[in-house]
Structure 1
Amino acid sequence: MMAPRKWLPTPVLSLLLLLVWLLLVRSYAFGQFVLGGALAILIPLLTHRFWDARPRISKPMMLLRFGLRVLGDIVTANFEVAYLIANPWRNLKPRFIEYPLMLEERFTITLLASTISLTPGTVSANLRMDGKSLLIHALNVDDEQALIEQIRERYERPLKEIYEC
């Protein structure tokens, strides 16, 4: 008999897929549960070998603090960007910045780039092929080095600690 982990490699993802399926079809009929359940089992089963290894979270409480910090930064940045947009006479200084990475794992680099893009006013535009730097576009930059240090201290160092990179 096959172990449950073999035929259900990611139970949380499977449950999420079933839920999304039921929401998409807007029906809770038995047939939809069966079809959604089959898809929820088959999709992860057929694709899990293509996924990168899951990183181990070494400090879960720090991950929670990181998530709250990012949420707070998103709210704050929304107000800052709204202020910049509402005051058109203000002289904006948009700029592309080459951000040197300390992270080496693809997963944590992706998390960092996503965090930067989630925060209004900044977008991660490109990762160099060698994975050593990230190209970031910022809406208003007075001091490039200060922005680099802010990203490093607020986002990159905590990610490095959380995932022990």
Structure 2
Amino acid sequence: MRQYIVYALALGIVWCFVSGEASILNFMVGSVLGILIIWSLKKLYQPDENVPYKNIIARIPKLATFFAILMIEITKASILVAKIVLWPKLEIKPGIVAIPLRATKDVSITAIANTISLTPGTLTIDVSDDLAKIYVHSIDASDPEALKVSIRDKLEKYVLEAFE
């Protein structure tokens, strides 16, 4: 239960950044909203798991790294999609690629799937029944191995560090 308090306080800080006003009242509103969000999603985060504050605080830099990598990947993918739109004669091969997963927790697999769908030009289609593969549609799947390496080494690596 202690980790929820830390997460709620972190969401309060995020709320201050998103709303553009850093005040005690705004922080409290964000923290209360954070508590409501966490409470509604608590089954996803295994509420019976008792995690010490030290582990929660140690995870914050890993989450920050994950979000930084995510922003970089979204920017790179946006440039690629813009290039495809601006030069329609570029040869692209859209396709679906099966990507093996190392993640084992539901929250990690969900984070990977959502991260892929957030990245322009890619969309998560499905996860295999045994949770060993994720199926991704890419606007340019001309090099499926490069797509697999990109997702496994750039996205999944940081998701594993942040969520498992």
Pick the structure with greater CA Rg. Answer: 1
For 1:109 and 1:74, how far apart are their aligned partners in 2? 19
Aligned to 1:69: 69
Is residue 2:8 matched to residue 1:12? yes
Structure 1: where are the runs of 5+ without partners? Answer: 20-39
Aligned to 1:33: none
Secondary structure of the residue aligned to 1:157 is helix
Contact 2:94 2:137 (8 Å CA) reproduced: yes
Aligned residues: 137
For 2:147 and 2:69, how far apart are their aligned partners in 1? 16
Q: Which moved more, 1:60-69 or 1:48-57?
A: 48-57
Aligned to 1:120: 120
> What does residue range 53-92 of structure 1 map to in structure 2 within 5 Å?
53=46, 57=56, 58-92=58-92
Q: Which moved more, 1:87-96 or 1:103-112?
A: 87-96
Superposition deviation, residue 62 in structure 1 = 2.1
For 1:45 and 1:141, how far apart are their aligned partners in 2? 37
One-letter amino acid of the structure 1 residue matched with residue 76 of structure 2: T
Superposition deviation, residue 88 in structure 1 = 1.4
For 2:92 and 2:79, how far apart are their aligned partners in 1? 16
For 1:69 and 1:45, how far apart are their aligned partners in 2? 24
For 1:100 and 1:74, how far apart are their aligned partners in 2? 21
Contact 2:8 2:38 (8 Å CA) reproduced: no
- State the 4+ residue runs in structure 1 displaced beyond 2 angstroms: 9-13, 43-52, 54-59
Structure 2: where are the runs of 5+ without partners? Answer: 16-32
